[in-house]
């Protein structure tokens, strides 16, 4: 049988949201859909890259040796393993990445950022940065960035190094 502390905690978590809490939740839910979509549209328009393609190039550019296991990339970008494989295959055809078998275990695949991929990322960066500033940073101006970052990490956990 649950003790009264468990019941009290359960009741507190299931109580209705206040008006202010409901406003925050609705805004967060809407932002989770609309902001990535807007950033993706801007990136495709300005740089002819999808957000997923850009993220892969960025993650690889910040990774030791400009390489990372494809399974890690899939997790960091939020794609299935098969979708990541198709994305990397497309980027390999464009000369942006090279894919090799992981020498350490032979089962996994490693994506390596090429010089052409780094140059492509470098070309796309200014327009993407401007989009991020306009669509994310400017609307949040005036808020404490350290407190906001900590609050968002409370939702997601800390951002792994060399990811964003």
Q: Which domains does the chain have, with CATH numbers?
A: 22-140 (1.10.10.10)
To which H or E segment does residue 43 belong?
A: helix 19-47
Per-residue pLDDT of the chain (164 residues; tens, 9 = 90+): 556 555 555 578 889 999 999 999 999 999 999 999 999 999 999 999 999 999 999 999 999 999 999 999 999 999 999 999 999 999 999 999 999 998 888 788 999 999 999 999 999 999 999 999 999 999 999 999 999 888 888 888 776 654 54
- How far apart are alpha carbons 115 and 95 in whole angstroms? 9
- How far apart are alpha carbons 115 and 91 in whole angstroms? 13
What is the reported pLDDT for 103?
Answer: 85
What is the reported pLDDT for 94?
Answer: 97
What is the reported pLDDT for 22?
Answer: 95
Contact 42, 135 (CB under 8 A): yes
DSSP state of 48: S
Distances (CA, A) of 62 to 72, 121, 164: 14, 11, 9
What is the reported pLDDT for 12?
Answer: 81
What is the reported pLDDT for 123?
Answer: 97
What is the reported pLDDT for 156?
Answer: 80
């Amino acid at each position: 049988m649950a003790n009264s502390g468990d019941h009290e905690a359960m009741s507190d978590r299931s109580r209705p949201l206040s008006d202010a809490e409901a406003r925050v939740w609705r805004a967060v839910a809407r932002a989770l859909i609309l902001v990535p979509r807007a950033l993706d549209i801007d990136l495709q328009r300005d740089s002819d890259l999808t957000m997923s393609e850009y993220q892969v190039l960025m993650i690889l550019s910040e990774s030791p040796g400009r390489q990372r296991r494809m399974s890690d990339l899939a997790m960091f970008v939020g794609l299935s393993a098969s979708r990541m494989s198709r994305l990397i295959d497309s980027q390999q055809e464009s000369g942006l990445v090279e894919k090799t078998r992981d020498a350490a275990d032979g089962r996994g695949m490693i994506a390596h950022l090429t010089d052409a991929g780094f140059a492509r990322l470098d070309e796309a960066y200014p327009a993407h940065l401007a989009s991020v500033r306009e669509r994310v940073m400017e609307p949040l101006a005036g808020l404490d960035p350290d407190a906001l970052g900590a609050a968002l990490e409370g939702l997601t956990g800390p951002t792994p190094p060399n990811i964003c």
